[in-house]
Amino acid sequence: MASDLSNQITLTSPRLLDLESPSAQAAFTGKPAKQGLYNPSNERDACGVGFVAHIKGQKSHEIVQKGLELLTNLTHRGATGYDPKLGDGAGLLMQMPDAFMRKEAAKLNITLPVAGQYAVGNVFLPQTDANREACVAIINKIIAEENQTLLGWRDVPVNNSNIAHAAHDVEPVMRQVLIASAATDQNVFERKLFVIRKRIEHAVRALEFKDKATFYIPSLSSRTIVYKGMLLANEVGVYYTDLNDESVVSALALVHQRFSTNTFPAWDLAHPFRMIAHNGEINTVQGNVNWMAARHETMRSTVLGDDLEKLWPLIAEGQSDSACFDNCLELLVAGGYSLPHAMMMLIPEAWSGNPLMDEERRAFYEYHAALMEPWDGPAAVAFTDGRMIGATLDRNGLRPARYLVTDDDIVMMASEMGVLTFPQEKIVKKWRLQPGKMLLIDMEQGRIIDDAEVKTELASAKPYKQWIEKTRYFLSDMPKVEGNLEMAASLLDTQQAFGYTQED
């Protein structure tokens, strides 16, 4: 689980990005431009999140159905518009259903490679034929340019007979793109898929076409797939008929019901994103995005190499706080950090001045604080890469997150208990996520990894304390040098040049 720093993306400190630009709300995002009291940079949500998973990684259709049931029972944490059928968004993330995809590919005369050597991308396409064809052409072209093999396209069957009129008006065309890998290493393939997706997003955004439906790629992976939309919680399993097929199996189901407080619902802003779903908000997102943009010129990666530059801009303008967080997490994982390592960097515990924390763990957080500022705010974040699934809570513990474990290796985490019913005699543990703590299930190892074990292993993997002591200097330790201060300008002009205000 410990990451090899020699293969990780190199993050250093500091160009700033203006999220409030009206151009940020182009047709690509489908949201209005800044106007009146509405500012798209204030997009926030407070929602219901949860997952159900099998600790040993045993895949079944029952897990998918339990995920949909959990989602339905989170309805009260979502929101509706003026039309009670108009949901703010809901969705489900699961592992790639290999048997199902093979069955569907065979109908199209497509032979899929072995599992892990092909990817499926769920794609939201524009409603108009010309715009849709332009997007498909870009996708096909970029796949070829990145030396991967396009296997074909599949139309995703949907049942939209009962969705709200407002959701129907902006409903995208649902299609799946199937891609074969040119590499034998699945991790290399996943990184290439990340690059392909970002290149496609940049190219489509440059078209600036106007269309009621939003172009968006909910997922493009060999490990996971996301079904989501501007739907009510109980509509996801009805709208996406794929999810009712018995051959759709998974060992995990991560679900989310959105409540977009004071903001706009949209097909693309429904959760889960590619790796996360969260209940809460990231209050520091403006600064986080600016700092990520500022690192652009100094960022390096031995595993991504020249592909790193193709990812920029990493975080597109006009995204929600959780979408921005997801983009950053994707980059860290693609750059060589393990999933729990990346989550500890982004949402650290309260470590500064904490006398109860051991020195190695505090050194870990202090070292990474120089590389990545915390994405802070009241948030419970569930995360997965298809092999691990877990959740972490902000350092103040301001969002609810409860979990239980059964004697037949089922783990359920949600915003509250009661969303799934289990016989009491089968429950072996029932607890809550505590401030700054992490719940992690490694399905390849087949076990729950305790918060202390996760963090102790990562903190002791490298000599962080030594690295800090070798590179940290205190002004009080510097030799004193006598000198005369001569100011080139008046005191007031100098103060103003350095940002002092009248109040200061």
Taking the C-alpha atoms of residue 278 and residue 46, their distance in angstroms, rounded to an integer, is: 8
Residue written as token pair 């000599």: 463
Among this protein's residues, is 328 annotated catalytic? Answer: no
Cβ atoms within 10 A of the Cβ of 260, count? Answer: 21
- Alpha carbon separation from 391 to 110, 229, 434, 467 (Å, rounded): 37, 23, 11, 29
Contact 48, 27 (CB under 8 A): no
Taking the C-alpha atoms of residue 375 and residue 398, their distance in angstroms, rounded to an integer, is: 14
Greatest Cα pair distance, the chain, in angstroms, is 83
Length of the chain: 504
- Alpha carbon separation from 351 to 82, 312, 355, 458, 471 (Å, rounded): 45, 32, 9, 15, 20
DSSP conformation letters of 184-215: S-HHHHHHHHHHHHHHHHHHHHTT----SSPP
Q: Which helix (H) or strand (E) holds 381?
A: strand 379-384
Residue written as token pair 């604080």: 369
DSSP conformation letters of 11-42: --------TT-GGGGSTTT-PPPSBTTB-GGG
Residue of 47, 135, 324, 328 marked active site: 47
Taking the C-alpha atoms of residue 140 and residue 143, their distance in angstroms, rounded to an integer, is: 5
Catalytic residues: 47
